[in-house]
Structure 1
Amino acid sequence: MLFDQQLEFETLCIHFKGSKDEKLLWNQISSNLRLVECLIISSSFDNDFTPVFTSWPQEIMIVRSAWFTLKSLLACASFIITLYNSHLENKDMDKILREWKAGELPNLKSLTITSLEFTDDGEQTLGMNLSELNGMVLKTDDGLKMATIELGPHRIEMSVTSFE
């Protein structure tokens, strides 16, 4: 009912366990997430339920985000994206950075991903070992934005600055 009244929410926290009622609730609110400044999702989903986003909040933080795939991230229109316990890998980060450089993810201001799958075992990201990206500044192909990459143990952070 609150979404029907077009109320705006500063923060909405959802902890999913995958119940039938939660699935129905998600389907009701997912089209109104533009009314939410920050959405925090904590989940222990069963394998037959993955939330579908038909709108995006300004900021999204997902704890236990294994279900949030590369495809989900590339479709995300949020300004700030934080994924904890992701299953994204180096090759996924390579795709994300290449897409961002080409002008995709136009709203992105900050991206933080923690994943045990991020390794420095020789798999290339933008033609470099992962450790070589630490502190690197990247520019979009059109030169209108730059991003600073910071690495931590199994963590990649990207902060975007716009020149527009």
Structure 2
Amino acid sequence: MLFDLRMEFKTIIIELNELNGSEDRILLWNQISNKLELVEDLVILSGFYLIRSFTPVFASWPQKISIMDSVVFTLESLLACTCTTITHMRSHMGNKDLDVILKNWKAGGLPNLKCLRLDSLMITDDGGHILGTTFRELNGTVIQTDDGSKKATIKIYAQSIEMSITPFK
């Protein structure tokens, strides 16, 4: 009902475990999802034990999104995301997914993105190449879009990556 009033929200926190299996709750998610452009920061909490019977579909996107412990926020969801800031903690994405994300960004995907942080136990230094190099060698790397309009600095932490994007001047 608040969304119908076109109110804007600073932060909304949703726990997906509470939506699992209930038609009413899934309907509620769908109603919220249609109005996420009114939200500055969306935080989605979910456990590893969440059954994949509910995969949220995003009809719109907030400005920023933070996902914690979610098995239902997929590579496809991330690539479709129009947020400026994406934080995905305790993700199930690995090196191959990260390679796809970075190649997609270089080719012009994720056009609104200013910052990406991906934290996953599946990202390893022996898990395959990312942009033709190892995970560890990405630290400090500056990459740019194919059209040369933006550059991104990559920082590597234990099993996470942070990509900060700036337009070329």
Aligned to 2:43: 40
1:90-128 deviation digits (Å, cap 9, x = unpaired): 011111111101111100000001100001116111110
| Structure-to-structure mapping, 1:71-90, within 5 angstroms | 71-90=76-95
* Moved segments of 4+, more than 3 Å: none
Alignment counterpart, residue 133 of structure 1, candidates 134, 138, 144: 138
CA-atom RMSD in angstroms:
1.2
Post-superposition offset of 1:47: 2.1
Aligned to 1:7: 7
Q: Does the Cα contact within 8 Å between 1:16 and 1:22 map onto a contact in 2?
A: no
Matched, 1:149 2:154: yes
Q: Where do 5+ consecutive residues of structure 1 fail to align?
A: none
Post-superposition offset of 1:42: 0.5
Counterpart of 1:29, as a letter, is I
Alignment counterpart, residue 94 of structure 1, candidates 71, 93, 99: 99
Alignment counterpart, residue 22 of structure 1, candidates 10, 21, 25: 25
Q: TM-score, normalised by structure 2?
A: 0.93
Alignment counterpart, residue 31 of structure 1, candidates 14, 31, 34: 34
Q: TM-score, normalised by structure 1?
A: 0.96
| Structure-to-structure mapping, 1:106-121, within 5 angstroms | 106-121=111-126
- Aligned-residue sequence identity (percent) comes to 55
Q: Where do 5+ consecutive residues of structure 2 fail to align?
A: none
